[in-house]
Amino acid sequence: MKQLMSIAILEVGGPPENLASRYPSYGIMIEDALKGVSSDLSFSTIRIWKGQPLPEATCFSGYVVTASAIGVNDDVPWVKPLLDFIRTALGQERPCVGICFGHQAIAQAVGGSVSRTAQGWGIGRHTYHIINRQDCMINTQSTISLGASHQDQVTQQPPGSVLLAKSNFTPIAALFYEKFKAITFQGHPEYPDNYLKDLYESRRGKAFDDQQCESAIKSLKMIPNDSQIVRQWIVDFLRQNIT
């Protein structure tokens, strides 16, 4: 019988209250996205943002850190312990994947910096130019396009990291860590487009204006979604780095 790779999803956020009854948790979104690529992964979701304790770093084969409405610089009780845990897990050679907040948290945990974007919210389908490739990145296209929803981003690349992708809006859009076993993405390969649309609508007139919201929603229809490619990268990264 094939042995399953045990992956802990460190869930640090979820759909806003007005969408929570219509959409699954972020942990389930990630599980569904990655199980759609591979059947040799076993998932456990740990709801850090709801007070569930962090595990011992050696309890799981690998970790995925989810998106969150919280920023890594916010004064929230679970953020510092999570950053400490990330450093410990990487030191124990447990591969880590970061998405959006997770991308930022892993960078900050190992010496990078995160701050609010000067140009405001990043929403809609963003296209990132691939700068470097790793073994897990099997396709040959020169760009990837993913849905985005963020105010913060990595502004200083951590020592020992390799820039994988960038855009004018997000100069540090994806990172690979040579010293540690980690790969991270600012964009969202786990969010379905209908959720992104409703997420933008829920923030219309609050976080951004009507024109920004309409433009973001239009881009979801006009620009092809490369989520499936990035999901495959993540699964192949985990396969290559879990011992």
Active site residue 190: yes
The H or E element that residue 210 is part of is helix 210-222
Please say whether the beta carbons of 219 and 167 come within 8 A.
no
The Cα–Cα gap between 107 and 118 comes to 19
The Cα–Cα gap between 86 and 60 comes to 13
Maximum Cα interatomic distance, the chain, rounded to a whole number of Å:
54
Active site residue 59: no
Inter-CA distances, 190 with 55, 193, 203, Å: 23, 10, 20
Query: Of 11, 31, 150, 190, which one is the catalytic site residue?
Result: 190
Region class of 9: left (phi > 0), else alpha (psi between -120 and 50), else beta: beta
Copy the structure tokens of residue 94. Answer: 């447990």
| Three-state secondary structure of 114-172 | EEECCCCCEEEEEEEEECCCCCCCCCCCCEEEEEEEECEEEEECCCCEEEEEECCCCCC
Query: Of 31, 100, 103, 213, which one is the catalytic site residue?
Result: 100
Q: Is 60 exposed, middle or buried (0-12, 13-18, 19+ CB in 10 A)?
A: buried
Active site residue 56: no
Report the catalytic residues. Answer: 100, 188, 190
